[in-house]
């Protein structure tokens, strides 16, 4: 079985072809970093235009590289939410058009489900497992019981972790995208020179918060005035440590909660762009070992936004006999666990 997957929910335009034996036949990703760099963040209108400019070519390229033609696809899957509506419309409309022309089923994929199931594509992981998704747009802990069966244990009540990295990089004038820049600066910094808050650490539940930490960095930078390179490195190191400790604390609580009543091996899947952070990986590995969990990290290309995870999620749905009508409308907001309590706070997107 072969599925063509399309991803356009944020600032990556991506297309891929995946086979049901977990082979990725083609995986083409075009990042829009250059388009958004002047603004220090993703500009929705620019993103939508860039998707429109490049998607057709990327789909053709993915098919070419896969060695298969459209007629050989069993379905076309496209991210239909959550995300920036302009980009979603480009991907969904393109996916539907291709499906209609080729006479194939269309599968509307939840982007978060793409991340949630990516460890099954990379590692063939069995259900259930715990997922920590830490990216520029999302920060949540989910129990993945099966396809379409998710329980959210915690999510951010304000900013996503990656957003905080990007904002802090901007404050420290380290460039865009912020995460890798902060990590790089932190390598020559002393994390103990400044003490920053560990948001939510020790609090009940598994929710995250980063806006207070971001604000603490803002005040610290203002206090420093003309910061030297060493000052910047020290602030970056202190911030990175605060995020890692805070995320590990939340993940630790989720692991303990998930492990209750669990028979069989306990796995923590870590996905999303922020999962690239070495200190976070290290801190999480320590916490997981404490809790008796094995960390599963899909390769970086599958952790960040890509078309292969969308094709795979579509394939999993197709194997269960599911597909969607061509009237399926893109959804800017689309929680994986609609039963989870609605979070409130500035900037809540979950
Ligand atoms: O998953 P992703 O590629 O896109 C979505 O947001 O969906 O994640 C991008 C985020 C950005 O905020 C970026 O700054 C962050 O991941 N990031 C990192 C690192 N590499 C990327 N954050 C911390 N450390 C890194 N090494
Ligand atoms: Zn994502």
What integer best gives the mean pLDDT of the chain? 95
Lowest mean pLDDT among 40-54, 56-70, 75-89: 40-54
Looking at the structure of the chain, the number of domains it has is 2
Residues with Cβ within 8 Å of 309's Cβ and at least 6 positions away in sequence, in order, are 5, 7, 114, 115, 117, 118, 121, 302
List phi, psi (to 5°) of 337.
-120, 90
List phi, psi (to 5°) of 209.
-155, 135
Residues with Cβ within 8 Å of 263's Cβ and at least 6 positions away in sequence, in order, are none
Helix axes 161-171, 211-224, angle to 10 degrees: 10
The answer, yes or no, to whether the previous bond of 177 is cis (omega within 30 of 0) is yes
Q: Can you tell me which residue has the tokens 């599925």?
A: 3
Question: In terms of domains, do 68 and 136 share one?
Answer: no
Q: Let me know if 225 is exposed, middle or buried by CB neighbors in 10 A (0-12, 13-18, 19+).
A: exposed
**Ligand positioned closest to the Cα atom of 111:** 2
Question: In terms of domains, do 160 and 221 share one?
Answer: yes
Lowest mean pLDDT among 34-48, 117-131, 300-314: 34-48
Atom 14 of ligand 1 has which residue's CA nearest to it?
A: 179
Q: How far is the CA of 137 from the centre of ligand 2 (A)?
A: 7
Q: What is the pLDDT of residues 119-175, one digit of tens each?
A: 999 999 999 999 999 999 899 999 999 999 999 999 999 999 999 999 999 999 999
Q: Can you tell me which residue has the tokens 């007629």?
A: 71
| Alpha carbons 35 and 169: distance in angstroms, whole number | 18
- 334 within a domain of the structure (yes/no): no
Which is nearest to 25 in space by CA: 54, 51, 7, 5? 5
Question: In terms of domains, do 89 and 142 share one?
Answer: no
Counting ligand 1 atoms within 8 A of each CB, the residue from 165, 243, 271, 283 with the most, and so the one to mutate, is: 165
Question: In terms of domains, do 288 and 235 share one?
Answer: yes
Q: Is the pLDDT of residue 12 over 80?
A: yes
Residue 40's pLDDT band, with cuts at 50, 70 and 90, is confident
> Can you tell me the mean pLDDT for 28-36?
93
Q: What is the pLDDT of residues 235-284, one digit of tens each?
A: 999 999 999 999 999 999 999 999 998 888 999 999 999 999 999 999 99
How many percent of the chain have pLDDT more than 70? 98
74: number of Cβ within 10 Å: 18
Question: In terms of domains, do 165 and 111 share one?
Answer: no
User: 3-state class of 93 per DSSP?
Assistant: helix
Question: Which pLDDT belongs to residue 161?
Answer: 96
Ligand 1: lining residues by beta carbon, under 6 Å: 10, 135-137, 162, 165-166, 177-180, 183, 272-274, 276-277, 304-305
Which is nearest to 91 in space by CA: 100, 81, 101? 81
Q: How far is the CA of 91 from the centre of ligand 2 (A)?
A: 15
- 123 within a domain of the structure (yes/no): no
Q: Which atom of ligand 1 is nearest to the CA of 162?
A: 12
Question: In terms of domains, do 142 and 110 share one?
Answer: no
Question: In terms of domains, do 277 and 132 share one?
Answer: yes
Q: How far is the CA of 136 from the centre of ligand 2 (A)?
A: 8
In the structure, ligand 2 is a single-atom ion and the residues with CB under 5 Å from it are 135, 305
- 336 within a domain of the structure (yes/no): no
Kindly report the CATH number assigned to the domain that includes residue 107.
3.30.420.40
Question: In terms of domains, do 57 and 178 share one?
Answer: no
Q: What is the dihedral of CA 4, 331, 131, 168, to 10 degrees?
A: 110
CA distances from 292 to 64, 249, 262, 266 (A): 44, 15, 12, 7
Question: In terms of domains, do 170 and 203 share one?
Answer: yes
Residue 340's pLDDT band, with cuts at 50, 70 and 90, is confident
CB 310 within 8 A of CB 304: no
Counting ligand 1 atoms within 8 A of each CB, the residue from 88, 179, 303, 305 with the most, and so the one to mutate, is: 179
Q: Is the pLDDT of residue 345 over 80?
A: no
Question: In terms of domains, do 61 and 160 share one?
Answer: no
343: DSSP letter:
P
Question: Which pLDDT belongs to residue 198?
Answer: 97
Which is nearest to 264 in space by CA: 122, 114, 127, 112? 127
- 347 within a domain of the structure (yes/no): no
Q: Is the pLDDT of residue 350 over 60?
A: no
Q: Is the pLDDT of residue 28 over 90?
A: yes
Residue 31's pLDDT band, with cuts at 50, 70 and 90, is very high
Question: In terms of domains, do 63 and 206 share one?
Answer: no
Q: How far is the CA of 164 from the centre of ligand 2 (A)?
A: 16
Residue 149 host element (H or E) = strand 149-155
Q: Which atom of ligand 1 is nearest to the CA of 272?
A: 1
- 232 within a domain of the structure (yes/no): yes
Which is nearest to 170 in space by CA: 156, 185, 157? 185
Q: Is the pLDDT of residue 9 over 80?
A: yes
pTM: 0.93
- 36 within a domain of the structure (yes/no): yes
- 122 within a domain of the structure (yes/no): no
Q: Can you give the residue range of the structural domain that contains 111?
A: 2-116+305-319
> Can you tell me the mean pLDDT for 53-77?
98
- 68 within a domain of the structure (yes/no): yes
Question: Which pLDDT belongs to residue 260?
Answer: 93
Q: How far is the CA of 15 from the centre of ligand 1 (A)?
A: 20
Question: In terms of domains, do 233 and 314 share one?
Answer: no
């Amino acid at each position: 079985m072969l599925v063509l997957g399309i991803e356009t929910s944020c600032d990556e335009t991506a297309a891929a072809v995946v086979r049901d034996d977990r082979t990725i036949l083609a995986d083409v990703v075009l990042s829009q970093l250059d388009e958004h760099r002047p603004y220090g963040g993703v500009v929705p209108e620019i993103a939508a235009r860039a998707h429109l400019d490049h998607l057709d070519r990327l789909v053709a390229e993915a098919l070419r590289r896969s060695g298969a033609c459209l007629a050989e696809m069993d379905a076309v899957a496209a991210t239909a939410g959550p995300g920036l509506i302009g980009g979603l419309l480009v991907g969904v409309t393109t996916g539907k058009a291709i499906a209609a022309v080729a006479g194939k089923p269309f599968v509307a994929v939840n982007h978060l489900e793409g991340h949630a199931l990516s460890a099954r594509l990379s590692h063939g992981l069995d259900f259930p497992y715990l997922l920590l998704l830490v990216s520029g747009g999302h920060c949540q802990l989910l129990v993945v019981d099966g396809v379409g069966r998710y329980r959210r244990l915690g999510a951010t009540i304000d900013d996503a972790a990656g957003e905080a990295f990007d904002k802090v990089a901007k404050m420290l004038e380290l460039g865009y995208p912020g995460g890798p820049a902060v990590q790089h600066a932190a390598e020559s910094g002393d994390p103990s020179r400044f003490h920053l808050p560990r948001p939510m650490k020790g609090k009940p539940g598994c929710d995250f918060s980063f806006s207070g930490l971001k604000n603490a960095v803002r005040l610290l930078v203002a206090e420093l005035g003309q910061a030297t390179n060493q000052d910047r490195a020290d602030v970056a190191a202190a911030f990175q440590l605060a995020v890692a400790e805070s995320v590990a604390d939340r993940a630790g609580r989720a692991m303990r909660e998930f492990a209750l009543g669990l028979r069989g091996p306990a796995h923590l899947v870590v996905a999303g762009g922020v999962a690239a952070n070495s200190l976070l990986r290290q801190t999480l590995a320590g916490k997981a070992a404490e809790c008796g969990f094995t960390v599963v990290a899909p390769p970086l290309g599958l952790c960040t936004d890509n078309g292969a995870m969308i094709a795979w999620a579509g394939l999993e749905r197709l194997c269960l006999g599911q597909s969607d009508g061509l009237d399926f409308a893109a959804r800017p907001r689309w929680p994986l666990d609609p039963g989870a309590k609605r979070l409130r706070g500035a900037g809540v997107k979950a």
